[in-house]
Structure 1
Amino acid sequence: MKSKTEANSRVFIFGGEDFYEAQKKARALIESFRAKDPNLEIIHIAEEGESQSEILPLLERLREEIVTPSLFATTKLIFWKGANFLAANGLADKRIEEDIRQFFNLLQENPLEELIVVILAESIDKRKKLFQELKTHFHVELTDKLDPLDPSSLLEVMEKLEERGIEADQSLGQQLLMEAGAQRSLLDMEIEKLSLFLGTKGKIQPEEISDLLCGKRETVIWRLCDLVISAKFDLALVELQILMQEGGSEMGILLALAQRIFWACLGLVLLKNGWLDVQSKGKYLKLMLKEEGYFLYPKKKSGELVNQWAFGQNLQLAQNIDLPFWLWALRHTYETNKILVSGNISPDLRGRMLERLLIKLKIYYEKVIEKSKDSV
């Protein structure tokens, strides 16, 4: 029987929260084996169903491939794609579970020396007993999603930029994280775009960043909201005009702005009542939400809490202005929304309503600032 070390070197399982990254790692491993052995025979087996009638024949084929030597090459590599046996809802049938265990027992006891098995699992439930067993006997690598709150995610972005020969500081790395969210696929696309733009220049100029990274309309709307929450109303008006020229949805922009103003109100109420503590270190920010604050903290339709990093960034921008201003802003945003949904306004005036809202916010903000100066 082969030792645990030998088994570990021949069987690789990839999966985790970031399936895109798991695929990259699996394919990179396969390419590394191909580079060492150009005659490598690669057998692709894709799992496309979850029923017993579909999975049992697939397992039978896998067993046959394991015990059958390669006819035309010295080494055979089996690539099992889309494996579902470690998912939270996988292995509902006891016979399937038993067949899966027999398959992995066969891998441990397989007498063939020249065999490599790479398994790409779309979803992995780390609580499963089978997962713990596989970790003991085989090489298992899980991928996590990017997290703007985790310094290691920013470090990963900076390393990717360096690999592509792009000179950048951490502010660009942070912007890329914001642009990509938790998705490495989007991150790689943005870095590719930067690389193509720069060519041999290497270093990107600050004024070029916003043009390159804010091409998506959703991102431009987010930047417009950032400017409003930062009380930079003149710049926000310029962004609004650009969006309107590109055919942006007035209602979509208004709803996004209303959400951010609502977040500002909730965040300041949570801070005022001592139900939220904001810890910041440089560009990193962490929210400590007390139990009393959970009923006020904004939630998605699914009931999941709104991303804390996005909420915290919004609160950092908003807390330079007192709560009464944001409550006033929320009320006037609501009034604008009522006018837009009423249908009593011509299409060519709908954009003007948004401009009018931003101008009203600017005027009222200037009054608030002037009043605060007089009271000093």
Structure 2
Amino acid sequence: MKLSNRVQEMQFSPIRKLGPYAVDAKNKGIDVYHLNIGQPDIETPQTFFEGIEHYHDNVLKYSNSQGIDKLLDSFIKYYKKWDVNFEKDEMMITNGGSEAIIFTLMAIADKDDEIIIPEPFYTNYNGFAASAGVNVVPFITKAENGFHLPSKEEITNKITPRTRAILISNPGNPTGVVYTYEELRMLADIVKEHDLYLITDEVYREFVYDNLKYTSTLYMEDVLDRVILIDSISKRYSACGARIGLVASKNKELIHQILKFGQTRLCVPTIEQLAASNLINTPKQYFDDVKKEYEARRNILFENLCKIPGVVCKKPKGAFYVIAKLPIKSAEDFAKWLLTDFNYNNKTVMVAPAQGFYATQGLGKDEIRISYCLNQHSLKDAMNILKIALQKYIKIEK
């Protein structure tokens, strides 16, 4: 039977496609340290579970397609802490940030229109774009520059009559880059001059290290009608399984139109929304402690990577990922080998080959993305295992 071109052109997630090999390794009794996926091990705040207790109806009903008022109100209150003021008709609750991006692309672009993205980028952006029939046009950011944006000219050279938006992640996944005010101001100028949208994925805004000041694109007041915010509770509250996201914009007409897509999927799960609405009561100390923990993990990871001969990487400033260049030919072959042919003291590691985070053919073949969502003791052990594995693999590859 024939399958659609759409599904056949989509790639499998490079983060998850090695999963069966990890399952096989575990079935053999090998412990696998997961450095491949951004699944926090931090405890979800108790405020989330306390919120579930607030549901007392005898019938679990549909909620409003836009989202329940209590959750919308809690997001409004949250953003005020970041000096951002939203109204209810400027927001819609989504099934995670993923749905927010898909709905956004479907609302602003037609089939074969284009969005510009700095690469490497979150691999699922490819899948979201393919689902919406939109083409990804990348521009390169480099490790030696800390994955910061290139010149204005390099970005505007990618603009064509079919370009509809620039999409960024800030702080960046998979690079950990935190864009400066000047970089965001440059993007604001570009979208203003070329009549584009600026889609900004800010799900990691709580994770900025080294006392850096975080700048949101929502601080660019002259382009607020062009800025589309993508957000989620998954990372900052360690609540990935709740699947509560958000799309927001001061462009009320855009949100009004996106609501049509929300109505076709009826609603986001009611109880999860109610639970998430109580997260606004999470103590500030929770965020302080979590950021301190991740910063310590970042330091452990970076210091250990720097000790491995031939490894090249820059110290990430945000999120909880790092891209590392390895002295090997194929990171994908190496990642598979780690799970099928290697263990040290009955343990191994799982990493994400970075090639899938690029759209330009051939880039990232010798790079991996590492997530530091492991506790400090496990992370130290995992990095030691990675060092031993890499030294052994290099000899085999030669």
Please give the TM-score of this superposition, normalised by the length of structure 1.
Answer: 0.27
Higher helix share: 1
Larger RCO, structure (CA 8 Å, separation 6 or more): 2
Larger radius of gyration: 1
Please give the TM-score of this superposition, normalised by the length of structure 2.
Answer: 0.25
